[in-house]
Amino acid sequence: MAGVRLTSRDIRSESRLVVVRALLAAGEASRNGLAEATGLSLGTVSTIVQDLLKYGIVTESRLLGGGIGRPTTGLRLNADRGRVVGFYLEDRYLEATVFDAALGELTTVEAVSDESVAEADGIIAWIDRTLDTALERAQAKREDVIGVGILLPGGMQRPVKAATAPDAIWLHLDRVRDTLGLPVVVDNPLKAIATAELWLGAGRRVANAVTVSLGFGVGAGIIQDGAIVRGATNAAGEWGHSLLAFEGRQCQCGRMGCVEAYVGVPGIRRTLAETAPDHPLAAEPEDAEGPEGFDLIAALADAAEAGDPAAVAVIDRSAHYLGAALADLVAILNPEVIALTGWAAWPTWRERVAPIVRRRVREDSPGDAAADLEIELSPSCGMEGIAAIALERFMRDIGLVTTRVIPAL
Amino acid sequence: MAGVRLTSRDIRSESRLVVVRALLAAGEASRNGLAEATGLSLGTVSTIVQDLLKYGIVTESRLLGGGIGRPTTGLRLNADRGRVVGFYLEDRYLEATVFDAALGELTTVEAVSDESVAEADGIIAWIDRTLDTALERAQAKREDVIGVGILLPGGMQRPVKAATAPDAIWLHLDRVRDTLGLPVVVDNPLKAIATAELWLGAGRRVANAVTVSLGFGVGAGIIQDGAIVRGATNAAGEWGHSLLAFEGRQCQCGRMGCVEAYVGVPGIRRTLAETAPDHPLAAEPEDAEGPEGFDLIAALADAAEAGDPAAVAVIDRSAHYLGAALADLVAILNPEVIALTGWAAWPTWRERVAPIVRRRVREDSPGDAAADLEIELSPSCGMEGIAAIALERFMRDIGLVTTRVIPAL
């Protein structure tokens, strides 16, 4: 990595992003208010605002002063600067959400395919058609679109061959860009959820936070001093593939003993199969990746509610696994907030799961590193995050920011 | 944590630190050279240099141009701005190193106490006397000292009572400051080694690196985008107390299955005791924390060299444990470099341990996240790091930087 600059984040560009995020948080603010909110000098804020006005990212309004004195000029993000479209692509499911340039949600459309498509032309055409539908519904034209972001679940690494629709997009990103005729960015849900939390959630009030996604797969998004930790190859946050147990359960990634093999949905099913092999919920469904996975969680919660001892035991055991694995994040990163998405939102969370998780995290974390830690359910969604990433990419393309871009994306 | 600013790192202050580190790396540089090295504009660099000149952190020299043209003004860190003193304190061992203000090492003195002292007055007087000796040897006066840094091993948390000399310093930091009459900063070796790596080592060429300390205790120092990750309470980096094995070996921290219980020196002894209970090296020494610990490593390496199958098995097993645990750091942080200190420097590292560790890290890391990872032995030492932290603290005290200071320190 010789030749890398001393600092990979260009500091001027970072200041611009900080101002944009402060405006998004405030809705409307004066230059003085922005200086106060960001810690930048009024002079720096004024220079930055001038640049943002010039490129139409920000627009001036008129605020009335608090009472005495002249009215102050207010600033807001310019929602009409253009449209940003986020896509979420699974094997047979495509969702598109149109946002304005202040990340206000305008409309969402869903499309389902009867069969899985792993062939690039078909998928790209599907995305293209769905984009038209979504834009029409949002009363927008394609030339209004300043950025497209595609969420690719699982895509922590560029795949070797196209086995699923997301794989095909990874491998044919240039063709996607050519067909849509638009700037396109792809990223995985871990980074997108963390970005949403950074722009719109806990990242507004704390410097260090971790978002944790609990689904079929599990992983983390790391916010450190106001930026997403991506690492050398955008693979940072793969906490799901860190060890819970050396030489433990086989994980779908090939490694043994990963966190995911215990707290991912199939891992919870496996805990059930170990606890009560003949339990009706322990049977493998035909498509373990589908919604059946989350149905298991809901069914387990219902069974526990009804007093099923095996269900109670599995939920408690899973809560201990999760707490222990979250304590590892505390040991390594010592965040102020851990924000959970996915099955943490299951019905028994508040009554049964959260107390065990919180106690286990506190007990297992070094010293009192978790004493003031907040563990909360995150309202953030990946779609907002991928839209924020696309907006950031747009600012990069017009020269306003110099965010480091991972080559693969 | 309400009320925390949107960005905890003041961006102007960060730019100043970036310029200081660039000058330290270059030795001597022009304003243009600094702009090129840092990615800052020439105007910003000039403003920063003006501030640094005003406070005497930087001094002007005269560089001859490359040939044609006027000579350019060169800049260097002003070594004569003052002296920085680093201390390393164990229970019965005290070391002091005097540095100039460009972090050039001037002299080191060592002091050994016959008995352990956990009583604050005695330890503070000991530090005070050793400071006099070190300054005399460096031909410096106490009023030349702009900062003192004390490395406290193990001190990841403020202790509850003074059981050892480092504990007493933690608990009576104000009295240390009063007695010395100097600004004093304390930190643990994990953060100090990472700081040394950031200012003087791999942190110069890559944005993301992790330093790993392997001793009686083990831990990590995390460099992320040119800054040390400290977390909410300076506890970040406690990788040694993340899980290797759920419900595994008892760790000295109270948790079960920590990485430290497998790759710390006592953990290696335990692996030996499990592998060959009657092996002469498996006997617990009276003082497991003392240098006897590192002697075990050397003795194991010698025994392996001589063909002792138990020693070979233990070294191999420990290398697998270490590789698996480092892969967790790759999964979570995806660094470009992992730099090891401590027992990784043992004689069999290059031939026997490193190949196993590297292969295991590559195999266990998600996807090809470790494909380009460099795993190297770090030449960095905590003493340089704590001096850099003390220098940074001095710049903070005179208002040049606004580095976030963890309350405990």
Q: What is the pLDDT of residues A26-54, one digit of tens each?
A: 899 999 999 998 888 899 899 999 999 99
**B206 and A CB contact within 8 Å:** yes
pLDDT above 70 (res B378): yes
Taking CB atoms and an 8 Å limit, are A226 and B15 in contact across chains?
Answer: no
Across residues B53-66, what is the average pLDDT? 84
What CATH number should be reported for the domain holding residue A23? Answer: 1.10.10.10
Taking CB atoms and an 8 Å limit, are A369 and B231 in contact across chains?
Answer: yes
Candidates A13, A152, A243: best to mutate against B (most CBs of B within 10 A) is A243
Task: Give the pLDDT of residue B312.
Answer: 96
Q: Is A50 helix (H, G, I), strand (E, B) or coil?
A: helix
Backbone CA torsion sign across B373, B375, B380, B385: positive
- Beta strand ranges found along A160-261 (DSSP E): 184-187, 208-214, 218-224, 227-228
Which residues does chain B have within 8 Å of residue A402's beta carbon, measured at their own beta carbons?
A: 39
Cα angle A164, A169, A175 (rounded to 5 degrees) comes to 140
A3 is a domain residue:
no
pLDDT band at residue B318 using 50, 70 and 90 as cut-offs: very high
Q: Which residue has the higher pLDDT, B100 or B396?
A: B100
Taking CB atoms and an 8 Å limit, are B6 and A21 in contact across chains?
Answer: yes
Task: Round to whole Å and give the CA distance between B83 and B60.
Answer: 19
- Could you tell me how many CB contacts below 8 A there are between chain A and chain B? 257
Q: Which residue has the higher pLDDT, A71 or B280?
A: B280
Q: Are residues B259 and B371 in the same domain?
A: yes
- Range 295-324 of B in CB contact (< 8 A) with A: 321, 324
Lowest-confidence region among A205-214, A236-245, B243-252 = A205-214
Domain range for A278 is 202-378
Q: Are residues B248 and B337 in the same domain?
A: yes
Task: Give the pLDDT of residue A157.
Answer: 59
Which residues does chain A have within 8 Å of residue B21's beta carbon, measured at their own beta carbons?
A: 6
Cα angle A44, A50, A56 (rounded to 5 degrees) comes to 135
B194 is a domain residue:
no
The neighbour count for residue A309, using CB atoms within 10 Å, is 11
What is the number of structural domains in chain A?
Answer: 3
Taking CB atoms and an 8 Å limit, are A328 and B41 in contact across chains?
Answer: no
Q: Are residues B126 and B26 in the same domain?
A: no
**B6 and A CB contact within 8 Å:** yes
Candidates B8, B11, B41, B160: best to mutate against A (most CBs of A within 10 A) is B11
Burial bucket for residue A265 (CB in 10 Å: 0-12, 13-18, 19+): buried
Q: Are residues A144 and A232 in the same domain?
A: no
**A362 and B CB contact within 8 Å:** no
Task: Give the pLDDT of residue A362.
Answer: 96
Q: Is A17 helix (H, G, I), strand (E, B) or coil?
A: helix
Q: Are residues A167 and A40 in the same domain?
A: no
Cα angle B228, A245, A363 (rounded to 5 degrees) comes to 60
Query: Tens digits of per-residue pLDDT, B208-242?
Result: 999 999 988 899 999 998 889 999 988 899 999 99
CB A155 within 8 Å of CB A379: no
Across residues B358-365, what is the average pLDDT? 97
pLDDT above 60 (res B406): no
Task: Give the pLDDT of residue A67.
Answer: 59
**B29 and A CB contact within 8 Å:** no
A6 is a domain residue:
no
B381-396: buried (b, 16+ CB within 10 Å) or exposed (e) per residue?
Answer: bbbbbbbbbbbbbbbb
Which residues does chain A have within 8 Å of residue B11's beta carbon, measured at their own beta carbons?
A: 11, 14-15, 18, 39-40, 44
A170 is a domain residue:
yes
pLDDT band at residue B45 using 50, 70 and 90 as cut-offs: very high
**A261 and B CB contact within 8 Å:** no
Of B196-210, B292-306, B323-337, give the range with the top mean pLDDT. B323-337
pLDDT band at residue A407 using 50, 70 and 90 as cut-offs: very low
Across residues A111-136, what is the average pLDDT? 91
pLDDT above 90 (res B347): no
Across residues A277-282, what is the average pLDDT? 89
Query: Tens digits of per-residue pLDDT, A366-403?
Result: 988 999 999 999 888 899 999 999 999 999 888 888 76
Burial bucket for residue B279 (CB in 10 Å: 0-12, 13-18, 19+): middle
Task: Round to whole Å and give the CA distance between A330 and A135.
Answer: 43
Q: Is A195 helix (H, G, I), strand (E, B) or coil?
A: helix
**Beta carbons within 8 Å of B277's beta carbon, 6+ residues apart:** none
pLDDT band at residue B62 using 50, 70 and 90 as cut-offs: confident
- Range 31-50 of A in CB contact (< 8 A) with B: 37-41, 44
Closest-CA residue of A relative to B17 is A7
Lowest-confidence region among A74-78, A303-307, B404-408 = B404-408
Q: Which of B77, B107, B125 is the last residue of a domain?
A: B77
Task: Give the pLDDT of residue B290.
Answer: 44
Percent of chain B scoring above 70 in pLDDT: 90
Fill in the amino acid letter for A59: T
Query: Tens digits of per-residue pLDDT, B96-141?
Result: 999 999 999 999 999 998 877 778 899 999 999 999 999 999 999 9
Q: Are residues B184 and B271 in the same domain?
A: no
Q: Are residues B247 and B372 in the same domain?
A: yes
Dihedral, CA of residue A221, residue A225, residue A227 and residue A230, to nearest 10: -50
pLDDT above 70 (res A254): yes
Taking CB atoms and an 8 Å limit, are B404 and A207 in contact across chains?
Answer: yes
**A15 and B CB contact within 8 Å:** yes
- Angstroms from B292 CA to nearest CA on chain A: 26
Percent of chain B scoring above 90 in pLDDT: 63
Task: Give the pLDDT of residue A31.
Answer: 94
Across residues A206-233, what is the average pLDDT? 91
According to DSSP, the β-strands at A337-342 and A208-214 are parallel
A66 is a domain residue:
yes
Q: Which of A22, A224, A369 sits opposite B233 (nearest CB)?
A: A369
Tokens of A292: 């059946």
Average pLDDT across chain A, whole number: 88
Task: Give the pLDDT of residue A69.
Answer: 63
Q: Are residues A67 and A117 in the same domain?
A: no
Which residues does chain B have within 8 Å of residue A262's beta carbon, measured at their own beta carbons?
A: 246
ipTM, 2 decimals?
0.88
- Range 47-106 of A in CB contact (< 8 A) with B: none
Q: Which residue has the higher pLDDT, B311 or B7?
A: B311
**Beta carbons within 8 Å of B161's beta carbon, 6+ residues apart:** B167, B171
pLDDT band at residue A227 using 50, 70 and 90 as cut-offs: confident
- Range 146-205 of B in CB contact (< 8 A) with A: 156-157, 204-205
**A335 and B CB contact within 8 Å:** yes
A225 is a domain residue:
yes
Name the β-bridge partners of A258.
A243
pLDDT above 90 (res A127): yes
**B404 and A CB contact within 8 Å:** yes
Task: Give the pLDDT of residue A6.
Answer: 34
pLDDT above 80 (res B368): yes
Closest-CA residue of B relative to A233 is B369
Q: Are residues A18 and A152 in the same domain?
A: no
Lowest-confidence region among A72-76, A120-124, B200-204 = B200-204
What CATH number should be reported for the domain holding residue B208? Answer: 3.30.420.40
Q: Are residues A26 and A149 in the same domain?
A: no
Which residues does chain A have within 8 Å of residue B197's beta carbon, measured at their own beta carbons?
A: none
Task: Give the pLDDT of residue B156.
Answer: 54
B393 is a domain residue:
yes
Task: Give the pLDDT of residue B285.
Answer: 66
Task: Give the pLDDT of residue B2.
Answer: 29
Average pLDDT across chain B, whole number: 88
pLDDT above 90 (res B200): no
B294 is a domain residue:
yes
- Angstroms from A195 CA to nearest CA on chain B: 14
Closest-CA residue of B relative to A221 is B332
Q: Are residues B115 and B180 in the same domain?
A: yes
Q: Are residues A228 and A370 in the same domain?
A: yes
Which residues does chain B have within 8 Å of residue A245's beta carbon, measured at their own beta carbons?
A: 243, 245-246, 248, 257
